[in-house]
Copies of this chain bind each other. A is one copy, B any other.
Amino acid sequence: MMTRQTAEGAARAAGRPRSEKAEKSIIEATLELIGEGVAVSELSIEGIAARAGVGKTTIYRRWSNKEDLVVDALTTLKPPIPPLRGDSVRDDLVAYLSVMRDEARHTHTRCIMNIAMSDSERHPRLAARFDELAIQPRRAVMMEVLRRGIERGELRPDLDVEMAMAILSGAMLWYTKWSHRATALPDDLAERIVDEALRGFRPR
């Protein structure tokens, strides 16, 4: 799964070892640029090298192309915080959507989202990695919350969990995507979405 070019395992490294600091700088610079809204196609190795204070050579020695570098950079992104479990489905869902909402506020996250969404046609490997790192874990958390709600009887037993997730996350996605032109997001957006959605999710 390693996309880098190191042959770590073999002989016991003769000369000067590779600078771990340089590596960090490169990846950090890449993420910074992406965070500032630079699209993958606009990313330049030269730009990254300059920002990282590193020679181009140092980059080419480790990654053979831009996409490999971006993939590795994305890999270092930790799924920040899946919300801890509360006592009710409502609380958990509100917490979860609040995180989504807060992430959408920050340009950094928004740009990364953009890359994931728009470059998916062009860079399938990138999209796959992002899916694996960012989408799936959150998906899993939310599915678990919903499933627990069904077990506890807070939600209809016949509720389509996938659909419920689409409705909840989709509504938040809709707000964060389309309305930041017009009005700012209301503070209680997460609560309002959850309360409206739960109307149909609860047992009759």
* A interface residue numbers (CB < 8 A to B): 37, 39, 41-42, 107, 110-111, 114-115, 117-122, 127-128, 131, 135, 160, 163-167, 169-175, 177-178, 181, 192-193, 196-201
Contact = CB atoms under 8 A, between A and B. Distances in A.
Given A41-B39, A117-B117, A127-B181, A166 B160 contact: no
A118 B121 contact: no
A192 B161 CA distance: 12
A173 to B, nearest CB: 6
B196 A167 contact: yes
Contacts of A121: 37, 107, 110-111, 114
Contact of A39 (B39, B160, B165, B177): B39
A117 B177 CA distance: 7
Q: How many copies of this chain does the complex contain? A: 2
What 10 A-B pairs have minimum CB-CB distances, sorted nearest first? A200-B200, A170-B170, A199-B200, A118-B118, A170-B174, A114-B118, A170-B171, A166-B174, A166-B171, A167-B171
A103 to B, nearest CB: 15
A192 B131 contact: no
A160 B121 CA distance: 35
B181 A166 contact: no
A199 B199 contact: yes
Contacts of A166: 170-171, 174-175, 193
A102 to B, nearest CB: 18
Contact of A173 (B107, B160, B173, B192): B173
A107 B121 CA distance: 9
Given A107-B121, A120-B181, A160-B196, 13 more contacts: A114-B118, A115-B118, A131-B178, A131-B181, A165-B174, A167-B171, A167-B196, A170-B171, A173-B177, A199-B199, A199-B200, A200-B200, A200-B201
